[in-house]
Structure 1
Amino acid sequence: MVNSSHEAMHRIFQEDPGIFTRTFRTLGIPFTDPVSVSLLPTDLTETRPLERRVDTLLRVDTADGDGYLLAVEAQGRKDPAKHSSWTYYLAHLNAKYGVGPVLLVVCQDEATARWAARPIRIGPPQWPSLTVRPLVLGPHNVPAVTDPSTAARDVPLAAFSAITHGKDPNAPAILKALAAALKTVDEETALIFGELTELGLGKTPAAQIWRDLMAIDLSFFRSETSQRLRAEGRAEGKAEGLAEAVVRVLEQRGVSVSQDVSDRVHGCTDTDVLDEWLARALSATEAEDLFTDV
């Protein structure tokens, strides 16, 4: 069943196809930067009874003339049936467009990524007639972007890093860097990559951390959580909305919030102080840590 996380993992390449070349260049595979990219139909069906669709299909043209097709597949788990599908995709694309195809598989866990990276050999062991070699991106080879300035220099790659590392212990640091980077770009770009990140994280614990981070600046994002918090903020006032966000972030992270702490937070009307407490709530180990040196 296709879910929102699956969609975001491949759709991010439609927003910025250059992620592909930039990432693999760091891995020692020198793909040429694209000069133009075209989104192609994803339907690879040849006969009506058997429907086959690749997740995203891009035609990449380069200055040196060595263009290629980039077929992107988001893979959430090991699925042996995909081997025959991927083989079919590449053979069909080569025959249909006369352009060499590249299969890119995007994963969120290392075990699935390493499974997907194995060569697929078609034919008897002594003489395989066809070998498929997928390129795979996942937490094992996509850089973890934890520095806000690095994230700001390449927001699409930072968002992709956040999605692929969504199940890692390092996810909170990556998400904080991306949240800071989104404040440096225009609202439309911030909206696109903020929403893609939320979709890509799916139902992981990191998704709640991301929603809490996005609640800090409600003007940029239209996710379900931010819409609800924005409505609450209009009804209760900015200070009350921030106070509620501080307590909610602590509780979502499993930090116990006493009645005294809750009363102090909700009793504060200084939005600058509440902003500081909200930032501290993302890493505090005890609720009282909010008030240190304030």
Structure 2
Amino acid sequence: MVSSPHEAMHRIFQEYPGLFSRVSEVLGVDIPPPISATALPTDLTETRPLERRVDTLLRIDTEHDGPFVLAVEAQGKKDPSKTTSWPYYVSYLHNKYALPVLLLVVCQDRATAEWAARPVSIGLRQWQTLSLNPLVAGPHNMPVIKDVAEARKDLALATLATITHADNPDVDAILKTLSAALRDTPESIADPIVELTAQGLGNRPAAQQWRNLVAVDLSFYKSPLSEELREEGRAKGLDEGRAEGRAEGRAEGLNEGRAEARAEGLLLMLGVRGITVTDEIRQKITNCDDPQLLRQWLHRATTATTAEEVFATQ
């Protein structure tokens, strides 16, 4: 059964075909940026009853070096059968499209990445007829991005780096960086990144951390993941009364609605940061009808360690 991390590791290249040129630069391979990219059928099945499918397949066009075919494979563990299927993919694609073919393998653990990077040779000991050298992206060579400005420079690369470092001990800091980089980003840009990151984390403990971070930012409220988060919150009783407040806010005006939603996000963020929410603090937050002040408190809460730091007057 295909896992969600598997899907995220290759589907990100469908969403952002230009990402490959940045990944190749990170991996030390000089491949020019694309001027266009076209998704190709991933079915490599022959007329005989043997089905073969590559995860993601793209035709990449470059300005100076011409087009090539990029096959992306997401690899979650070592699989000896790939030593026969990968050379087949490359040979088949070269024959079908009459273009250069590059195989990129994306992994989430170092052992699998090192295994995938081994050359695959076909032939005799004295003479190798065919040699395959996959380009591999994984935790051993993708950047650990914990600087918000760096993440904002290339959100697609930051997302792939986050997915490949899903098991990194500092994954919480990596996720907070990506979440902060997405603040105030248009939903059309943020939503795919939110969903791909959630997929890439799978059922790891860090997945809940990501869900909590997503829940506190208004720009994510229309994404499928945030809708699911709100449903979970209602089921757990975290939303009682506040859901009613949101409905009243819509009736009384957009400004009050924003204040209500930001108050909810602030309460969630305080919980994520491990800051005790007393009855006095809860009342202070829920009674505040100033969206800008609530936003200021919310931003402070992302780094604060005490309630005093959040509500300090300046």
The two structures have a TM-score, normalised by structure 2, of 0.81
SS state of the match for residue 291, structure 1? helix
Report the counterpart of residue 77 of structure 1 in structure 2. 77
Larger Rg: 2
Distance 1:281-1:126 versus aligned 2 partners, 3 A rule: farther
Q: Distance in 1 between matches of 2:215 and 2:17?
A: 29
**Deviation at residue 122 of structure 1 after TM alignment:** 1.7
Contact kept, 8 Å, 2:58 with 2:69, in 1: the verdict is yes
- Determine whether 1:266 maps to 2:282: yes
Q: Distance in 2 between matches of 1:247 and 1:226?
A: 20
Report the counterpart of residue 234 of structure 1 in structure 2. 243
Distance 1:243-1:152 versus aligned 2 partners, 3 A rule: closer
Contact kept, 8 Å, 1:108 with 1:139, in 2: the verdict is yes
CA RMSD of aligned residues (A): 2.6
Structure 2 residues without counterparts, runs of 5 or longer: 247-259
Q: Distance in 2 between matches of 1:218 and 1:184?
A: 8
Report the counterpart of residue 245 of structure 1 in structure 2. 268
Report the counterpart of residue 308 of structure 2 in structure 1. 291
Contact kept, 8 Å, 1:10 with 1:74, in 2: the verdict is yes
Contact kept, 8 Å, 2:213 with 2:269, in 1: the verdict is no
Letter in 2 for 1:290: A
Distance 1:79-1:262 versus aligned 2 partners, 3 A rule: farther
**Deviation at residue 184 of structure 1 after TM alignment:** 4.4
Q: Distance in 1 between matches of 2:117 and 2:16?
A: 23
Equivalent residues, number: 284
SS state of the match for residue 172, structure 1? helix
CA offsets per residue over residues 212-234 of structure 1, 9 Å max, x none?
11111144242445444276343
Report the counterpart of residue 36 of structure 1 in structure 2. 36
Report the counterpart of residue 251 of structure 2 in structure 1. none
The two structures have a TM-score, normalised by structure 1, of 0.86
Report the counterpart of residue 153 of structure 1 in structure 2. 153
Report the counterpart of residue 120 of structure 2 in structure 1. 120
Contact kept, 8 Å, 1:163 with 1:197, in 2: the verdict is yes
Residues 1-294 of structure 1: matches in 2 within 5 Å?
Answer: 1-221=1-221, 222-229=223-230, 232=239, 233-237=242-246, 238=260, 241-242=264-265, 244-246=267-269, 248-250=271-273, 261-269=277-285, 270=288, 289-292=306-309, 294=312
Q: Which runs of 4+ in 1 moved over 6 A?
A: 271-274
**Deviation at residue 23 of structure 1 after TM alignment:** 2.2
**More deviation in 169-178 or 237-246?**
237-246
Identity %: 48
Q: Distance in 2 between matches of 1:226 and 1:218?
A: 12
SS state of the match for residue 43, structure 2? coil
Contact kept, 8 Å, 1:139 with 1:164, in 2: the verdict is yes
**Deviation at residue 183 of structure 1 after TM alignment:** 2.3
SS state of the match for residue 5, structure 1? helix
SS state of the match for residue 139, structure 1? coil
**More deviation in 97-106 or 163-172?**
163-172
Letter in 2 for 1:291: E
SS state of the match for residue 127, structure 2? coil
Q: Distance in 1 between matches of 2:153 and 2:190?
A: 13
**Deviation at residue 198 of structure 1 after TM alignment:** 1.1
**More deviation in 239-248 or 198-207?**
239-248
**More deviation in 264-273 or 13-22?**
264-273
**Deviation at residue 236 of structure 1 after TM alignment:** 5.0
**More deviation in 194-203 or 239-248?**
239-248
**Deviation at residue 21 of structure 1 after TM alignment:** 1.2
Contact kept, 8 Å, 1:218 with 1:226, in 2: the verdict is no
**Deviation at residue 30 of structure 1 after TM alignment:** 0.6
Contact kept, 8 Å, 2:211 with 2:229, in 1: the verdict is no
Letter in 2 for 1:234: A
Contact kept, 8 Å, 1:145 with 1:151, in 2: the verdict is yes
Distance 1:124-1:39 versus aligned 2 partners, 3 A rule: same
Q: Distance in 2 between matches of 1:290 and 1:75?
A: 44
SS state of the match for residue 220, structure 2? coil
**Deviation at residue 82 of structure 1 after TM alignment:** 1.5
**More deviation in 268-277 or 56-65?**
268-277
SS state of the match for residue 199, structure 2? helix
Q: Distance in 2 between matches of 1:278 and 1:174?
A: 19
